[in-house]
Structure 1
Amino acid sequence: MKRQYKIFIFLVIVSLIVSIIYIDSHNKSKESMNYIEAKAKVLKIDNSNVNRAGISRIGDQSLDIKILNTKFKNEEIKAVNHLTGSLEIDDFYKERDTILVSLMIENDMIVGAKTVSLYRQDWQFILFGIFVLCLLIYAKLIGLKALFSFVASLFVIWEVLIKNLLAGKNPLIITTLALTLLSGIIIFSVAGINKKGISAFVGTMFGLISTIIITVFFGNRMGFYGMTTPFAQTLMFSGYMDLNMQHIFYATIIIGASGAAMDIAMDIAASMEEIKINMPHISKKDLIKSGFNVGRSVIGTMTTTLLLAYSGGYLTLLMLFMVRETSLIQILNIKMVSAEIMRTVVGSIGLVLVAPITAVFAGWIYSDNRMFKIKLNENKSEKKIGVSH
């Protein structure tokens, strides 16, 4: 096993251990606040206080449950499931369901319990395990690097981006810093600190800056104030009225666009590296031209990918427009739709700008033959030493 392979295995294991320790400490901090979360099995249900209106349910489910973990394991208690009539949020439980409950603790005893949701974590771990397995089987060492960058990215998003946004820091500055850090972690973990990694990073940064400028300019003129993002109003009414929701909305656009920009920058940089390896004497002009050709092909599909990704999240809304025979002019001017149009188009503009910049920079850096000459001389020296021996 290669040394660098061992290093990345170590990094992945350390990342997972840190994540587990963080989750455990997070749960312990909740326990100190007189409530803990626990896994439970539904034994019996009483739906007498549940009123049904069509497919919606309002009222309270009374549950007899058995705790499956924590220090209260195997205790049987009663819990309440509050139903608000919102199908997006409510879970309606059946006997033998495995659920997550919040236990109110007083004097080391359970004094109350309410349901949180169905317990989906086991299946999530299985799904993630399949993802990791597929990644490692196909990509091997690069897959391991990608797994490390994936775990590190989750940590940066949660610990750096989210916490600083909630603290009231400038959303655009915090997002820019977080995405710069994320881009560095992801690109250099996968590609390494070399010409390919540097080219992809420079292209991504150019796309990030361009996206910020375009987003702020057009967002201010289209009258978006940030309330189109999911749960924005709920967040403000949870004690965060001072947050700049407009700039947080801009941050969501920039984050989405930066991921696509990173993809296309890496695609072009990797393609140009392969061209240079197989045609070491290719001219700078021809290399850049090849990078442009690759960029055009990738942009052609990536732009549509963005459209499908964003429209997929609003499929039912589009169906509703058709049912109500909403006119095109109304659809285009509805705040929510306009926001998604802006998100898609800004991301597409970022892609178009990233591609040529990455191609030009990669063409320049790959055509610098000084590194190639150094490596050639090293190889010759090694051969001479081998002959002398």
Structure 2
Amino acid sequence: MEKVMEALREGRPVALFPYGDRVLLWVEHPGGQKGALGLTEAFLLGEKRRFPSLAAEFPALDWFERALWERGFEPVGHPGLKPLRRHDLPYTFREFPLLHEVPVGPVHAGIIEPGHFRFSVLGERIVNLEIRLGYQHRGLLSLMPGKGAEAALLLVERAGSEPVAHAMAFAEAWERALGWEAPSRAQYLRRAALELERAFGHLGHLAGLFTDIGYAYGATQVGRIRALLQGELDRLTGHRYGRNFLRVGGVWREGQPDLEAIAAYREELARLLPRLLKNPQVLDRMRYVGEVRRAEALALGFVGPTARASGVGRDLRQDDPLYPDFTPVVRQGGDVLSRAQVYAEESLKALDYALFFLRHLPAGPLALDPPLGEGEALARVEAGRGEVVWFVRVEAGKVVMAEGVDPSFKNWRALELAVRGEGLPDFPLCNKSFDLSYAGSDL
């Protein structure tokens, strides 16, 4: 137990999931060598479906432990167990007797996914927000055992809203489990698709933010380029969201995106985005709103742009030897504007790397069939919203066990922190600044 606590204090929790009648905790040690992909280490905890809760000291594990509790495990000593995804179990919201309660959802106006938000307000000032999800819980992980690689990837690509990143993490976990590696050409193509996915995803966040503050010009211009970039992802992968492109052992196809067009979109964004983010309307509505402090981001284990906008300079791509001279995009403000700035700068870097991978494709095959062995491994990929994690155990070409973590699962509580002290009308803006996936959290 002492070794576990030391690892948690020195690093960052990656995942906590069942492993037979025990639980498997993965942590990341800081300061790894480039190419080590974060130097993860696993620890087995507990026995007979009981394990010591670590959530009181390490709140980043709270949701993980609640998810395990729903699956029949007992986190002994957890400070406040309540359901996370299951709506057949009783749930009690935190009560503030002297404050007004404002329930929002789970059904919302527009086309967003379902989620319940319970606000405790003093006038229009938010004192507390409690988020209740689980309305998209599909039991996806329970469908994985017995599936072959192709059938499993069909499910994995629908786990969250970033199918390329999920498919890449799952495929790499499968390949590592068998001591296998995809051909170099496939690895470059995978990363090109990942960066295009990141770019059009970030531009979607920015377009949504501009829409929420009534900045129609900014939303229209960014949305136009986003749609054009999504078309280039379609030309590369055969799908506008990059599905059915990756396979275990490589990729299925190699499309022909227009590199000159991608470069032109990148240059247009480089001129456009700084101007948009300095618009007085943008500064007035986004600056100093929805702040998340660095200490909070570290304590709760936030990932991706959510963490980097609060001063946490961590991005899995800095450990990937295929990314030359990678430096994370970091801002210190922790507010909506800082998150928008990270999206903008990362969009430009993503297009730079997409062009790099497509212009420097190594010779060789697109895929090789891995052996039909057995093994287990964990892989992580830096998706647009943060790290995607997949652990897979395979035997004879079939999944025996699979566990996945979408970045939104780790980041939803950032929204609860960001809105405290803000006016109730600022909630949509704060929410959009994280643009979290409901389905990704509800695996």
More helix, by proportion = 1
Higher gyration radius (CA): 1
TM range (shorter): under 0.3
Q: With a CA cutoff of 8 Å and minimum separation of 6, indicate the structure with the bigger relative contact order.
A: 2
